[in-house]
Amino acid sequence: MKIKVSEEVKQALKNGNAVVALESTIISHGMPYPKNVETALLVEKTVRENGAVPATIAIIKGIPTIGCSRDEIEHLGKAGLSVTKTSRRDIPVVVSKGLDGATTVAATMIFAAMAGVKIFATGGIGGVHRGAETTFDISADLEELARTDVNVICAGAKSILDLGLTLEYLETKGVEVIGYGTDELPAFFTRKSGFKVNDRMDTPLEIAKAIKCKDDMNLGGGTLIVNPIPEQYSMDADYIESVIEKAIGEANEKGIKGKEITPFLLDKIQRITGGQSLESNIKLVLNNAALASKIAVELANL
């Protein structure tokens, strides 16, 4: 399969410099235009300011693209929900039909691995959905973390999920979950969840050393690094939980399932909170991009 790697990313990888992969679902499905494009460009700027090269990943007219141009990001933002939300299962169809695809965490990991990018920053990963014991609704992101050698920095699993079962699933799959400066799994919009992570590390260098050790031992799979949203942007846990329950109730009433559920819930939560959740989302993504860049720089120096 043909993939397109931007010259900037190609040169950085060739020279052994730090590169950070970025997903594109957040552009087309995560936020309204033009906020989505503004945020994507600000995330890229944050990566550069912290010493790494950004590689926004998407499928453009059937071609997996590692390092989207400003025009391509603008296109994805304007096209919005008409762009196919693309996970592992969707890739062959999107590519063979020559479509545009906004890559989820799973698909972004796949293409990052193809290009040789080890570090990936996102907002929050997918996970085990509430009620999965009857619906079996479990995100492909978790399987990808178990099989694909890319290390993901996020603000925990999205708080619309069952966080306890998500951690259990990751443990079963042998995925190391490292808390950056925390012993607890962050809950995306809030810093705490009540669930403990495997290990706590307090510096990007510590994390980079653990990643290198995993690679040197050929253990395969990814590492999940969870980075709490900055305190000043964290939302009240009880309030956001009540909002989530209301949004889930509406989704159930409307029969919304599968890959449509997460965009629906995030949009509904944004509307109920009067945009507060969107601003928190943006701040946590920028925070993750900064940490990912620092880890990538340390890894490149080892």
Residues 6+ apart with CB under 8 A from 240: 159, 189, 190, 269, 273, 277
- Going through 3-129 in order, the beta strands assigned E by DSSP cover 4-5, 19-22, 53-60, 63-66, 84-86, 101-103, 119-121
Helix (H) or strand (E) holding 164, with range, is: helix 163-172
β-pairing, 53-60 vs 19-22, is parallel
- 60 beta partners: 63
H, E, C per residue of 232-293: HHCCCHHHHHHHHHHHHHHHHHHCCCHHHHHHHHHHHHHHHCCCHHHHHHHHHHHHHHHHHH
Instruction: State yes or no: is 23 an active-site residue.
Output: yes
DSSP 184: B
Residue 2 has phi, psi (to 5 degrees) of -80, 130
> Would you call 228 helix, strand, or coil by DSSP?
coil
- 119 beta partners: 20, 151
10, 23, 144, 298: the active-site residue: 23
10, 85, 118, 158: the active-site residue: 158
DSSP 72: H
Structure tokens at 151: 């290390």
Instruction: State yes or no: is 184 an active-site residue.
Output: no
**Residues designated catalytic:** 23, 158
